[in-house]
A and B are shown apart, each in its own frame.
Chain A
Amino acid sequence: MSATLSRRNALAALSGLAGAPILSMFDAEAAPKAYTLMPQKLTDGVWMVAGVPEAINTANGGAIANISILSTSEGAVIIDTGPSKRYGEQLRVLAQSLTGKDVARVYLTHFHPDHVFGTQAFPAESVAATEGVIKGLTELGEGFSAAMYQAAGDWMRGTEVVLPKHVITSSVEDIGDRRLRLLRMKGHTASDLAIFDEQTGIIFAGDLVFLDRAPTTPHADIGAWKVALANLGGIPHTMIVPGHGPAEDNTRGLDQTRVWLTEIDAIIGQAFERGLDMTEAIALPLPEWTNKIALARYEYERTVMHLYPKLEAAKLPKVGGRG
């Protein structure tokens, strides 16, 4: 393998064995980091760069989300830009080498930082997103940036929040010989874009679909999310590319995401109805099947912290006020 990959392995090993202080000493003297982007060909003219099924950390540099590349007669189409400026720059080079053309269009599926912080590497005019995504980035971008620098460290060097300049208003876009249907949905966030490629029948679901990796919920509306999943399931398709997890030619991602959301929502709702506080809800057991899901415990814990305050505000009876 490349020198880059072995260096990343070495870093991962260091962080696992020797602990953080040594890792950061090592980092301070190291050359700029490079991601190892390994495109997986899904079908002719379509590739996915898989994210690792991990939380964002200083070893993976935030490269946890799936990124897709499509070739068209007009140039490459990229779906999501990854976690950092450096990732975006490498992604652009990769897209050029795979398609033999420069990038014609970039779509952002939603405003989460692991999907959009590589945007800086592309001309803002070519980057398309919904109004909701642009609004989310405007409001939360700086906060995300601070959180990403904290979680991923040096990989983020030079990364800044860039707002897309192409606002998606239509439900179909033709990029060269490829017709893409732009499905504006919500549930994972207030604005989630799923993309259906008419030529291949592939759905690029963004974070509306997770597979074998627990869904994240910091901005989720679980009811709306389940509606979006049902709507996606109603579209005849050949394959689903989830935001996190493997691309498969079945409905496992749709089903697993729906079941996870339903079961986790029920556990948390019942905990609230039994009078438990957050730390007590966090300690509850999860269904057996989730043992096979990466980050199940971690994301469940986060979801308790996301949902509990909303439940309390909405459901605790009013009992008084000013004396």
Chain B
Amino acid sequence: MKVRLILACTLATLAGAASAAEDPMHSPVWAQLAARHFGTTPYVYDERVVVTVPGIVENQAQVPVTADARAVPGVTKLMVIADLNPIQHVLTLTPGPSAPYISFRFKVEQATPVRAAALAADGVWHVGSRYLDAAGGGCSAPAMARKDADWTETLGAAQGRIWRDGSGLARLRLRVRHPMDTGLAKDGTPAFHIEQVEMKDENGASLGTLELFEPVSEDPTVTMLLRVQPSTPSVSIDSRDNNGGVFRATVPAPWKSSQLANP
């Protein structure tokens, strides 16, 4: 088993090297991570997959990131990985009919390369990378776990809004209240996090699925670009946590309710 893993790693590295030379982040752990997450599927470094992070980390528990693979044709999965996080796999979007694009926030322990890997129609993972410098602003206290006495009352409460225009894409912004405990805290709090979110139209047809892992920030707040019919009145969102909690939200998607921002 071990041998096979190493072999897979070597193959993946070679595949990457063949078309895109070495890791632009020069990360010591990347080859291993790529092997673990891509298996024997080849990967290339591709600047069309854009990762956007802020220049400064203001709050280590809430670092905004956007992964955008819309420039790559036929993307069926979009995975976000932070090389030097204790848990590296942050989330995976399976966009279905929707756009391979997601904005959200995650937790970091230290400066790290952030990757977005898009599995495209060519059967290859296309990897975009960006270095996140975790030097803080100095004026903000570092992240501390919020100890809200009433978190059980708000667990799963959702807020959201959809912006639409004629392009067929609906911009969904969604916030779900959840502690998103990593299971790594010194006080022994077990991992407790939303692990799956599925978006559906009014007929129950899937508009994409999102798998979240422990590094996603408390009260996950995401932006996605969903492909919906002009007639679709609303999008329903089912979330499930690793403790069996199930949360349902319905976001109205009225036609031309407001202008769609398309940066």
List residues of A whose CB falls within 8 A of some B CB: 55-56, 62, 112-114, 140, 142-144, 146-148, 150-152, 216, 218, 273-280, 282-283, 298, 301-302, 305-306, 308-309, 312-313, 316-323
Determine whether the beta carbon of B137 is less than 8 Å from that of A218: yes
What distance in Å separates the Cβ of B53 from its nearest Cβ neighbour in chain A? 7
Contacts of B58 in A (CB 8 A): 218, 301-302, 305-306
Contacts of A56 in B (CB 8 A): 137-139
Other-chain contact of B175, A55, A114, A313 (Cβ < 8 Å):
A313
- Complex formed: what's the CA distance from A260 to B248 in Å? 41
What distance in Å separates the Cβ of B101 from its nearest Cβ neighbour in chain A? 10
A/B interface sample: 28 pairs, CB < 8 A:
A62-B138, A113-B139, A143-B140, A144-B141, A152-B138, A216-B137, A274-B163, A274-B261, A275-B163, A275-B173, A277-B103, A278-B64, A279-B53, A279-B103, A280-B263, A282-B54, A301-B55, A305-B64, A308-B64, A316-B159, A317-B160, A320-B237, A320-B248, A321-B248, A321-B249, A322-B155, A322-B246, A323-B248
- Complex formed: what's the CA distance from A282 to B160 in Å? 21
Which residue on B lies nearest to A305, using beta carbons?
B58
Which residue on A lies nearest to B62, using beta carbons?
A309
Which residue on A lies nearest to B136, using beta carbons?
A147
Which residue on A lies nearest to B238, using beta carbons?
A323
Known A218-B137, A318-B159; contact A143-B142, beta-carbon cutoff 8 A: yes
Contacts of A316 in B (CB 8 A): 159-161, 173, 175
Contacts of B158 in A (CB 8 A): 318-321
Contacts of B55 in A (CB 8 A): 298, 301
- Complex formed: what's the CA distance from A317 to B65 in Å? 23
What distance in Å separates the Cβ of B177 from its nearest Cβ neighbour in chain A? 9
- Complex formed: what's the CA distance from A216 to B161 in Å? 30
Known A150-B136, A309-B62; contact A323-B246, beta-carbon cutoff 8 A: yes
Is B6 an interface residue, CB under 8 A from the partner? no
Determine whether the beta carbon of B137 is less than 8 Å from that of A55: yes
Other-chain contact of B105, A146, A278, A313 (Cβ < 8 Å):
A278
Main secondary structure of the interface of A (DSSP, over half): helix
Number of residues on chain B facing chain A (CB within 8 A): 52
Other-chain contact of A216, B139, B175, B245 (Cβ < 8 Å):
B139
Contacts of A275 in B (CB 8 A): 161, 163, 171, 173, 223, 258, 260-261
Is B247 an interface residue, CB under 8 A from the partner? yes
Is B259 an interface residue, CB under 8 A from the partner? yes
Contacts of B171 in A (CB 8 A): 275
Q: How many A-B residue pairs have CB under 8 A?
A: 153
| Residues 158-205 (chain B) with a chain A CB within 8 angstroms | 158-161, 163, 171, 173-175
Which residue on B lies nearest to A64, using beta carbons?
B138
- Complex formed: what's the CA distance from A151 to B134 in Å? 11
Determine whether the beta carbon of A279 is less than 8 Å from that of B65: yes
Determine whether the beta carbon of A218 is less than 8 Å from that of B139: yes
- Complex formed: what's the CA distance from A275 to B164 in Å? 10
Which residue on B lies nearest to A146, using beta carbons?
B142
Which residue on A lies nearest to B57, using beta carbons?
A305
Determine whether the beta carbon of A317 is less than 8 Å from that of B237: no
Determine whether the beta carbon of B161 is less than 8 Å from that of A148: no
Determine whether the beta carbon of B140 is less than 8 Å from that of A218: yes
- Complex formed: what's the CA distance from A113 to B138 in Å? 8
Contacts of A301 in B (CB 8 A): 54-56, 58
- Complex formed: what's the CA distance from A318 to B249 in Å? 9
Determine whether the beta carbon of B56 is less than 8 Å from that of A283: no
Contacts of B141 in A (CB 8 A): 140, 142-144, 146-147
Which residue on A lies nearest to B137, using beta carbons?
A302
What distance in Å separates the Cβ of B223 from its nearest Cβ neighbour in chain A? 4
Contacts of A151 in B (CB 8 A): 135-138
Interface code B226-259, partner A: CB below 8 Å = 1, 0 otherwise? 0000000000011000000111111110000011
Contacts of A302 in B (CB 8 A): 56, 58, 137
From A140, A142, A146, A280, residue with most partner B Cβ within 10 Å: A280
